[in-house]
Chain A
Amino acid sequence: MAETHSLQDLRQAAVASKVFVQRDYTSGTICKFQTKFPAELESRIDKQQFEETIQTLNNLYAEAEKLGGRSYLEGCLACLTAYTIFLCMETHYEKVLKKIAKYIQEQNEKIYAPLGLLLTDPIERGLRVVEITIFEDRSIGSR
């Protein structure tokens, strides 16, 4: 069983390997990641847990890119003001990205760091992959 780590400890731990969860393009160009469980994580984390994390991320991105009344309204309003409105206002997508960043941090603190794993926010990788860093499984002393 993996040792319990905290996010702080992980910074001093050695990186064993990295796994990259790729994008799932079967629904088109929307941002969606594959929920297939990578083999390298089999010994580290529960498949169910992992799939749940990815699915939540997918749902959040879908919310960001949703075409609906709100996005049309935002688009039209922005166009009428020659897009100067974005000087004072955040776009809907950016608001959801903040939500996603918070969610990932929370997941890292609660679930992944104690198992010696670290999720990287996909925005850091151009929304191409979810990078999961696997740290060496050893006891960490904080000294």
Chain B
Amino acid sequence: MIIRKPTRKWEKLPGKNTFCCDGRVMMARQKGVFYLTLFLIVGTCSLFFAFECPYLAVHLSPAIPVFAVLLFIFVMAMLLRTSFSDPGVLPRALPEEANFIEMEIEAANGNVLAGQRPPPRIKNVQINNQIVKLKYCYTCKIFRPPRASHCSICDNCVDRFDHHCPWVGNCVGKRNYRYFYLFTLSLSLLTIYIFAFNIVHVVLREYRSKKMFHVDSLTPHCTVLEVLVCFFTIWSVVGLTGFHTYLISLNQTTNEDIKGSWSGKNRVQNPYSHKNIIKNCCEVLCSPTFPSVLDRRGVMLEDSSSPTHSDASAASTHKSSNPVSQTTKSSAPLIPNEHTPDEAKPGIGAGTQKSTSSPKGEKPPSPTSPNAVAPAVIKESTH
């Protein structure tokens, strides 16, 4: 008897995502820049731990490296969480739903004369005394919910779409926006921390020994390297954190900010804002964690070529995906299952040209540290 590995739903999902660890990890196809981010963070932090920390621990306080380690672990956890989780992808409409919507649209449009273009597919909804236009997505065959947008790089509609970030190798949307924000925030702190203690280290060494750096010839080179990386990182990452803090306080997304959706022209105001900074921050950062609606790890039925799912099968696949996701804690290395090889396309250019979002979402490299954050991080399935 041949036991076949069950086909999981992620293998048949449309869109240009890469899945790893049997559907637990979900990323965009181009991961080159993500690896660069990892390398910079891990590399700079490992240099810091190897060369500066021993000196600082002895001459200043052992709390310095300890705090740096904690901060590093937090940064890595947030980065991996942002990169590996489902940003809030909306599944495409099944054929019956698509047909139903088409019929509704045709009924609404009435008779279109031959040769005339049909009117654009837009639904108007009033939210909080503001008319919001819901656009129809021709790829996903749905009317996009408010604040959702279609990412052309991942070829998915994402709920509360912020931007596609090549540095984390994933879209930033409803489900992972808080992790992204915490990542930039903690990274700013880590960068400033390393930068500051590098300076302190240099100053201390000069003070204590009249001959500069005679003890170890490698240290000054590492210090200079770290200072350089941190210097350039601070400008960009801290700026980005500030920008996102501003967006959060107004309950706006990067996408809306770029398009000027709520810029105030024609008395248009953001209908989602609570008009209170604390409330907006609480909603964006502390609202209940939204589950993934993609069901990547559900088992596909062998004869599921027909689009109708009976309630029983739906219930069983839903049940099968839930317990599995909870017990997950694989520290398996990334095993890309997609046939497309990784094209390492570093640089902001690649991301910006195709992305529907703005370059403000870009984030330059930041110092990182090495190592195993594995269990804490690779557990992405419904989260």
**Chain A interfacial positions (CB closer than 8 Å to B):** 7, 10-11, 15, 18-20, 23, 25-29, 64-67, 71-72, 74-76, 78-79, 82-84, 86-87, 90-94, 97-98, 101, 105, 108, 118-121, 123-129, 131, 133
Given A11-B310, A29-B145, the answer on whether A67 and B282 have CB atoms closer than 8 Å is yes
The contact sample of 7 A-B pairs, CB cut-off 8 A, is A29-B147, A64-B288, A67-B282, A67-B283, A93-B290, A94-B322, A98-B322
Q: Are B379 and A128 in contact (CB-based, < 8 A)?
A: no
- Among B27-35, B74-82, B204-212, B331-339, the stretch that binds chain A is B74-82
Given A26-B125, A29-B160, the answer on whether A7 and B312 have CB atoms closer than 8 Å is yes
Closest to B144 in A: A128
Of B77, B94, B134, B293, which contacts A84 at CB under 8 A? Answer: B77
Of B81, B142, B318, which contacts A128 at CB under 8 A? Answer: B142
**Closest-CB distance, B215 to chain A (whole angstroms):** 36
Given A67-B283, A67-B287, A79-B182, the answer on whether A86 and B145 have CB atoms closer than 8 Å is no
Q: Which residues of the other chain, B, contact A67 by a CB distance below 8 angstroms?
A: 282-283, 286-288
**For the complex, is B220 an interface residue (Cβ under 8 Å from A)?**
no
Q: Which residues of the other chain, A, contact B45 by a CB distance below 8 angstroms?
A: none
Q: Are A126 and B91 in contact (CB-based, < 8 A)?
A: yes
Q: Which residues of the other chain, B, contact A19 by a CB distance below 8 angstroms?
A: 100
Complex Cα spacing A118 to B308, Å: 12
Of B127, B291, B375, which contacts A93 at CB under 8 A? Answer: B291
Q: Which residues of the other chain, A, contact B286 by a CB distance below 8 angstroms?
A: 67, 71-72, 75-76
Of B93, B271, B290, B318, which contacts A124 at CB under 8 A? Answer: B318
Q: Are B288 and A74 in contact (CB-based, < 8 A)?
A: yes
Of A10, A65, A83, A126, which contacts B179 at CB under 8 A? Answer: A83
Complex Cα spacing A84 to B147, Å: 29
Given A11-B310, A72-B282, A84-B77, the answer on whether A129 and B288 have CB atoms closer than 8 Å is no
Complex Cα spacing A25 to B125, Å: 7
**Closest-CB distance, B235 to chain A (whole angstroms):** 26
**Closest-CB distance, A80 to chain B (whole angstroms):** 10
Q: Are B125 and A126 in contact (CB-based, < 8 A)?
A: no
Q: Are A20 and B97 in contact (CB-based, < 8 A)?
A: yes
